[in-house]
Structure 1
Amino acid sequence: MFMLSNEINLSAMPQADQERIASILENAKAANTKLAYESDWNNFKQFCSKFNYLPLPASEATLIHFISEESKTCKHSTIKRKISSISKAHKMAKLMSNTTHPIVEELMDSIARTKGNHSTSKKAMVLDDLKRIIDVIDTSTLQGKRDKALILLGWSTALRRGDIVSINMEDLVFTDKGLEIDVFEQKKKKQRKIVILPANNNYCPIETLLVWLKEARIKSDSIFRAVNKANNVGERLSGESVADIVKKHAKAAGLNPELYAGHSLRSGHITAAHDEGFDLSTIRQHTGHSSIEIIDRHYVQTMNNYKNNTSSTLSKL
C-alpha cells in the first residue's frame, strides 16, 4: 500500500500508477538533495578561495577553520550537513577525507554541546537600513552590480536565502507590468509564483537585475553567481554567500554586520509591509508562509514589543 501522506491513501490506484508516483517523488527528493550538496560544496569552495585554501583534498586545518567560521551563524545540524557534503565530494574524487579527523569530530561535538541547534536571531533590514546598504554599494564593479541586484531582489521577493540563489534564468518572465518568478521553495518542496513590481527610483529590483544579467552575460541557468577579482563569472552562489554579501555591505554602511544575515531580507520585507498597512493575509500570500499565525507570532508580535510597550510610561517623568 502506498501512502502519499498521512491523509492520502492511493491504494485504490493500479499498482503501476502507485509505483510511477513513488518514482516521481523519489526523483524530486533526489534532485533536492543534489541541489543541497551543490550549494554546500560551492559554499566550501568559496570559503577556500577567500582564504587561499585547497578544497580538494581539504586539510584538517582547513576544515577546522571552516567549521569555526560557520559556527558564527549556522546551527550545528547545518554545519554537520555541510561537512557531509564535503566528505561526499572527496569520495567522488576518490580522495581521503579529513572530515572524520579526531580534532574535527571533537570540534563538532563541542559545537553541539555549547551551541546546540540554536542560531542568533538577526535584525530585520527595514527600509532605512536597506537604503543605507544599497547606497554604499559600488555599482561601477561587476560584483557591486550583482550585490545590488541580489539584495534588492532578495528583499522584494522575501525569499529564504537558499531559494534566492536557486533561481534560474528559465524561472524569470519579464512583462510590461513587472517580473514573474517561478520559485521552488526548498524548505516546503513546493513550486509557486512571485510577482515583483517595478520601482521608479534607484532601488528598482527589476532594473538592477537586468543590468547585472546584461553585464555578466547570463542567458541561462543560475542568475546569481560568483565573481572573482578578474571579473570572471563563475558558479552559482551558495545560500551562505547571501549572508556574506549582506554583512559586507551592512558593515560598509556603518551598521553592525553581526546583526544582519540573509534572513534580514525576508524579515525586513515583512516588517516594512506590515508598517505600510498590508494585512497579514496579503503578506502571507507574498512570502509563502503556511499561516498568518506564524507571521503574527514571529514578526508582528516582536515588532509590537517595541511599539506597544508599557515601559514607555517613564517618558512621562
Structure 2
Amino acid sequence: MTDTHETAEHVDERALTPQEEPAAHLQERLRALHDAAAVKISDAVPANTRRAYAADRADWAAFCAQWGLDPLPVQEEMLALYVTELLEHGSAAVPTHKRKPLAASTVERRLSAVATWAQEEGHAPNQRASRKVLEGHRRAHPTRPRRAAAALEEDLRAMVRAAQSHELADGRPALRRRARDTVLLLVSWRLMLRRSEAAGLRLGDIQWHERGMRVAVRRPKTTVEEVWKPVPYALDPELCAVRAVRAWTGILAEAGHTAAATPLLVRVLVNDALPVHPKPLSPPALSTVVSTMAERAGLSGKALGPAEDASAPVYTGHSLRRGSITAAARRGAARDTIRRLSGHAPGSHVLESYIEQGHEWDEDPLAGL
C-alpha cells in the first residue's frame, strides 16, 4: 500500500503544469532555456564574424575604461568620439607606439559590432553622430577601394603551372605540394569558394561520378546547410579539378589517409612529407598559397597604369572566387545560375559588382563610335 501511494505522489509531481511548479524550479528552467537559446543564437553567426565582433567590442570596452565609463549602455557622444579616435589614432587596445589610424571600412565594422552588442542587451544606441563622423572622414579622405584581383582563366592556368613547379631545396620535385596546391587552386576556382569554405572541405565531402564528382559545400555565411555541387570533367585537362582531386586523394590514400574526416587540403611538411595526423590548411595559409603562386606566375607585377607608383594587382584567396564569377559572366552565364553556385544571397551587391566587371567592356553605350 505504501509503495502504491509513493508512486502516485511521484506521478502527480511530474504531471504538474508550469503554473503549478515551484517558483524556484521555474526560474531554473528559464535560465537553462535562456542559456540554450543564447548558444543557438551565437551558432547562427559565422565563427569569423563572432571572433571579429568579440575583438571589436573588447576594444570599445577598453576605450570606455580609459574614461572611467561602462561600455553599456552606449552613450551617443562617446560613440562618436570613439569613431574619431579610431580614424585619427587607431585602436585603444593597441600600445601607443604601435597604434595607427584605421580604415573607414574597419571603423564601420567596429561601429556595427558595438551597436549590435547594445541591441542584444536591450539598448538601441543612437548612431547618428558616429555615422556623420564617418561620412565626413570619407569626404575629406577619399580612397580607392582595395580589392583582390580577379584570377581569370589564363591567370588560373599560370598559377597552376607555378604550383606544378614546386621543388625541394635539393632540386627534386615536391610532388605532394604540387598536387595539393593544384587542387586548392582548381577546386576553389571551379566552385567559387570562399577561403574558409575551401579550408573546411573533407574527404567525405567528395563523391565520384562517371561524369566527374560531387562536392558537399558548406557556406556558413549564407546558409547552415551543406549543398552538393556537381563538378564535371573539364575539357582542358590542365584546368580539370576532378583529375586533380583524383590524383591528390590517391597520394593521400598511399599515406593511409582515407578517413572521411581527413581534410582535403592538408598541411604538407617542409620536406614534402605528409604528417601522421594531417591538419587542414587555415584560411590565411590558403590565401598565402594563392598569393605566392600569383607572384611566381608573374601576375602580381602587372602595372595598372603609366605611373611609376601605380598599384599592382593584389592576388589573395578571394581572387579565385572573384575571378571565377567574372569568367562565368563573360561566358554568358545567367545571374541566377552564377548565384546558385557562388552561394551569394539574392540581390547581393557584391555579386553584381563581379558580374559587372565581366561585362565592363561589353556594355559601352557609345560602342561603335
**Is residue 116 from structure 1 mapped to residue 106 from structure 2 by the alignment?**
yes
CA deviations on 1:255-297 (whole Å, 9 max, x unpaired) are 1175211111111111111111111111111111112553663
Give me the whole-angstrom Cα distance separating, in 1, the residues matched to 2:232 and 2:53.
34
Structure 2 counterpart of 1:54 = none
Instruction: Determine helix, strand or coil for the equivalent of 1:164.
Output: helix
Residue of 268, 276, 280 corresponding to 1:236 = 280
Residue of 155, 175, 180 corresponding to 2:214 = 180
CA contact (8 A) 1:281 1:292 kept: no
Structure 1 residue ranges, 4+ long, deviating more than 6 angstroms after superposition: 310-313
Residue of 144, 162, 187 corresponding to 1:153 = 187
Structure 1 counterpart of 2:300 = 256
Give me the whole-angstrom Cα distance separating, in 1, the residues matched to 2:290 and 2:107.
23
For 1:16-55, list aligned pairs within 5 A.
Answer: 23=36, 26=39, 29=42
CA deviations on 1:97-138 (whole Å, 9 max, x unpaired) are xxxxx9944477525367735872111111111111112222
**Is residue 143 from structure 1 mapped to residue 143 from structure 2 by the alignment?**
no
Give me the whole-angstrom Cα distance separating, in 2, the residues matched to 1:107 and 1:306.
47
CA contact (8 A) 1:154 1:164 kept: yes
Give me the whole-angstrom Cα distance separating, in 2, the residues matched to 1:106 and 1:244.
29
Structure 2 counterpart of 1:62 = none
The alpha carbon displacement at 1:28 in A equals 8.9
For 1:193-212, list aligned pairs within 5 A.
Answer: 193-200=228-235, 201-212=237-248
AA in 2 matched with 1:229: V
Q: Please give the root-mean-square deviation of Cα atoms over the aligned residues, in Å.
A: 3.8
Identical pairs, percent: 19
CA contact (8 A) 1:280 1:292 kept: no
Structure 2 counterpart of 1:55 = none
AA in 1 matched with 2:199: V
Q: TM-score, normalised by structure 2?
A: 0.55
Instruction: Determine helix, strand or coil for the equivalent of 1:179.
Output: strand
AA in 2 matched with 1:267: R
**Is residue 278 from structure 1 mapped to residue 333 from structure 2 by the alignment?**
yes
Q: How many residues of Structure 1 are paired with residues of Structure 2 in the alignment?
A: 242
Give me the whole-angstrom Cα distance separating, in 1, the residues matched to 2:271 and 2:101.
37
- In the superposition, relative to structure 1, how do residues 294 and 116 fare at CA in structure 2: closer, same or farther (>3 Å)? closer
- In the superposition, relative to structure 1, how do residues 312 and 79 fare at CA in structure 2: closer, same or farther (>3 Å)? farther
- In the superposition, relative to structure 1, how do residues 267 and 78 fare at CA in structure 2: closer, same or farther (>3 Å)? farther
CA deviations on 1:4-55 (whole Å, 9 max, x unpaired) are xxxxxxxxxxx99xx89x959936955987x759xx9xxxxxxxxxxxxxxx
Q: Pick which of 289-298 and 205-214 moved more.
A: 289-298
Give me the whole-angstrom Cα distance separating, in 1, the residues matched to 2:337 and 2:36.
36
- In the superposition, relative to structure 1, how do residues 308 and 187 fare at CA in structure 2: closer, same or farther (>3 Å)? same
Structure 2 counterpart of 1:245 = 289
Instruction: Mark the structure with the bigger radius of gyration.
Output: 2
Q: TM-score, normalised by structure 1?
A: 0.64
CA contact (8 A) 2:207 2:215 kept: yes
The alpha carbon displacement at 1:250 in A equals 0.7
Question: 5+ unaligned residues in a row in structure 1: which ranges?
Answer: 1-14, 41-76, 85-101
Structure 2 counterpart of 1:89 = none
- Structure with the larger RCO, 1 or 2 (CA within 8 Å, 6+ apart): 1
